[in-house]
Amino acid sequence: MAAPVPAQVVPAHTTLPLLIITGVRAVDPAQRLDAVVDVVMEGGSISRIGRGAATQDLLQSEQAMVVRGDGLLLLPAFIDMHAHLREPGQEYKEDIASGLAAAAAGGFAHVCAMPNTRPVNDTRAVTEAMIARARSVGGPALHPIGAITVGQRGQELTEMADLKEAGAVGVSDDGRCVTSSAVMRRALEYASTFDLAVIQHAEDHALTEGAQMHEGAISTRLGLRGWPRVAEDIIVARDVLLAEATGARYHVAHVSSLGAVRILREAKSRGISVTAEVTPHHLTLTDEAVIGYDAVCKVNPPLREQADVDALREALADGTIDVIATDHAPHSSLEKDCEFVEASPGMLGLELVVPVLLGLVRAGNLPLGRVVDALTRAPARVVGLDAPTLAQGARAELCLVDPEHRYRLDPSRLRSKSRNTPLLGRELCGQVCLTMAGGRIVFVDPLIEAQRSAPQAPGGAGS
């Protein structure tokens, strides 16, 4: 893949008058679709989809840009309902432009930005500023999540009506747990007044003081303070009861423990309005990754044991866990290249979703349709967005994936400003080639596209 890059075949950030993808395996659970089809997009919308949809007339049109889709996957573009884009305040780690570029490269058309910025997004002004910044950047759409409490301090509620009017799609104090039962109850009641989901970072801080990693055999060996599962389970259990009592919509961020899974399953079976998300890293890594004290593997909640990983996969497969969200948490070397106890928790996610999750699909752990649903319809329901879909007439929000492309993850590949992922230098399989958001191309992988595309220039006739 080190060959010189020919002129980009598909220019990014454009709406092509006529874009045709031929013979591609399209998977869209919303349409119960999993078939090899042609897809024709005109003016940023899907005008035709189906076998033979790309007629000779269309293919020979002067304006047609044709991409051969054989061997590729076409999916609705993803929604990440949990990312940290660090702007305003910590732009040396990430900013809205680099974060959205990373999202586009990962196949996302929508990104929800968590409010633990500096200042905290607890007001209309910050929400509006973030959205304005994202619009000026272009690319995937940004949807801020507002704070539940002022300054994420867990005390006074934010102006949620204002936040929602400004464009916030949910509320969360992510990074901090709403510890007080009284505040959480009021938050659920108040947020539900405006149909905002309350997204809880479930961690009983009293049980995790100084905690560095999952409490278990590895923490015992490494002499690192443990973060016990029960600190998550206690909060999820309490919140489920509060959600039941208030009838409000409750969502658990980054579920990591098998105990929390059990509580969620029971809550759903009783019809309580609760949803949950899991991260790709909690689905694939265990606390053994921390051996050697590599701070890149420090995340919150921590990587747990294989039994938890198995429970999370099972819960995602059976719908107990609804959503896959990245918890994309960029940090610079200042926060990561240091003693483990000094390091900030978090790892990158946006650009790595496709190779990580396709690995699970390939290994038979999860059906592809369920993964796509967990990245599109399920988060759309929680945060109240229209889910990208491959239906005829829909706005083109999709990603084209080469599932067999193998490559070593070179730091220079990453669009994020940060490099904190344990996958650096690893062999990955599966690559996003093209992402469309809002009807426009927001990402195209020049190398792959150059290899794949017919030798023609934009606007040139199909052959």
Give binding residues for Zn(2+) as ranges. 82, 84, 174, 201, 254, 327
Pairing of strands 78-83, 250-252: unpaired
- CB 311 to other proteins: min, Å: 19
What are the binding residues?
82, 84-86, 116, 174, 201, 254, 300, 327, 331, 345-346
Closest approach of Cβ 336 to other proteins, in Å?
11
Please tell me the count of residues contacting other proteins according to CB under 8 A.
22
Segment interacting with other proteins, rule: CB under 8 A, options 4-12, 210-218, 254-262, 412-420: 210-218
If binding is defined by CB under 8 A, does position 122 make contact with other proteins?
no
> 16: alpha, beta or left, given left = phi > 0 and alpha = psi -120 to 50?
beta
Residue closer to other proteins (CB basis): 137 or 207: 207
Report in angstroms how near the CB of residue 293 gets to other proteins at its nearest: 3
Q: Give the active site residue among 28, 80, 327, 402.
A: 327
Cα 375 from Cα 81, distance rounded (Å): 9
Does the footprint of other proteins cover residue 231 (CB under 8 A)? no
Q: In this chain, which of 55, 155, 193, 220 binds other proteins, going by CB under 8 A? A: 220
State yes or no: residue 438 binds other proteins (CB under 8 A).
Answer: no
Burial classification of residue 7, based on how many CB atoms lie within 10 Å of its CB (0-12 exposed, 13-18 middle, 19 or more buried): exposed
The residue from 2, 7, 56, 223 that contacts other proteins (CB under 8 A) is 223
From residue 103, how far is each of 158, 254, 428 by CA, in Å?
Answer: 28, 18, 18
Residue 171, helix vs strand vs coil: strand
Q: Does 224 bind other proteins (CB under 8 A)?
A: yes
Chain residues 58-97 in contact with other proteins, contact rule CB under 8 A: none
Which of 22, 121, 172, 219 binds other proteins (CB under 8 A)? It is 219
| 320: its two tokens | 């107990």
Q: Of 5-13, 89-97, 111-119, 209-217, which part binds other proteins (CB under 8 A)?
A: 209-217
State which of positions 329-358 bind other proteins (CB under 8 A): 337-342
Q: How far apart are the first and last CA of the chain?
A: 26
For other proteins, which stretch binds (CB under 8 A), given 213-221, 232-240, 243-251, 380-388? 213-221
Pick 57 or 339: Cβ nearer other proteins: 339
Residue 194 lies near other proteins (rule: CB under 8 A): no
Cβ atoms of 103 and 81 within 8 Å: the answer is: no
DSSP per-residue codes, 289-321: GGTT--GGG--SSPP--HHHHHHHHHHHHHTSS
Task: For residue 424, state whether it binds other proteins (rule: CB under 8 A).
Answer: no
b/e map 16-30, b = 16+ CB within 10 Å = bbbbbbbbbbbbbbb
**Sign for the pseudo-dihedral over CA of 165, 166, 167, 173:** negative
Q: Is it true that the peptide bond before 119 is cis, omega within 30 degrees of 0?
A: yes
Q: Is 228 a binder of other proteins (CB under 8 A)?
A: yes
Q: Does 420 bind other proteins (CB under 8 A)?
A: no
- Residue 287 three-state SS: helix
| Minimum CB–partner distance for residue 334 and other proteins (Å) | 9
3-class SS letters over 370-436: HHHHHHCHHHHHHHCCCCCCCCCCCECCEEEEEEEEEEECCHHHCCCCCCCCCCCCCEEEEEEEEEE
**What is the token pair recorded at 434?**
């093209």
Q: 162 an active-site residue?
A: no
CA dihedral sign, ordered 245, 250, 253, 255: positive
**Which residues, including other chains, have CB under 8 Å from residue 455's CB and lie 6 or more apart?**
none
Nearer to other proteins, 31 or 332 (CB): 332
Site string for other proteins, 277-296 (x = CB under 8 A): ---------------xx-x-
Residues contributing to the site for other proteins (CB under 8 A): 212, 215-217, 219-226, 228, 292-293, 295, 337-342
Q: Which residues have a catalytic role annotated?
A: 327
